[in-house]
Structure 1
């Protein structure tokens, strides 16, 4: 469940050795001690780090997914026969 949107708040930037850091206000606090960060244009997106699922957990999650509907299927593609090519 996504929390409701909130108004932007100003946050302080500071240096920690050779890295830049940001003090995150308490209402934006993230769980855990690691995050994922990426750039989208001029924005930095910070997300909670989620431990990768084990293969068993991943397969169990896939098994619970509803089957694909007709519009989710791949279109039929005419398969042309292979032709020999000369390689130099």
Structure 2
């Protein structure tokens, strides 16, 4: 939590690439809302699920793919999926 507060003070935030359609990327903002951004305004090579770090300092904006955070979130999602699948019944499901 202290790390997040420190990042907010420094002007660092993260958005998630929710989808890409044509020349537009749908991004999920920190508050959970989504917006459409031009692909040309984002780092080259982005793909769905990537976490983008935006650092605003004194009018300068630095945007880059946060590979560590992307990997962490993918691993967390996979663990959650594995946990759900482990609880699934074996064999045929009777209704």
- TM over 0.5, shorter chain: no
Which gives a bigger RCO, structure 1 or 2 (Cα 8 Å, sep 6+)?
2
Q: TM-score scaled to structure 1, two decimals?
A: 0.27
More strand by share: 2
TM-score, normalised to structure 2's length?
0.25
Structure with the greater alpha carbon radius of gyration: 1
Structure (1 or 2) with the greater helix fraction: 2
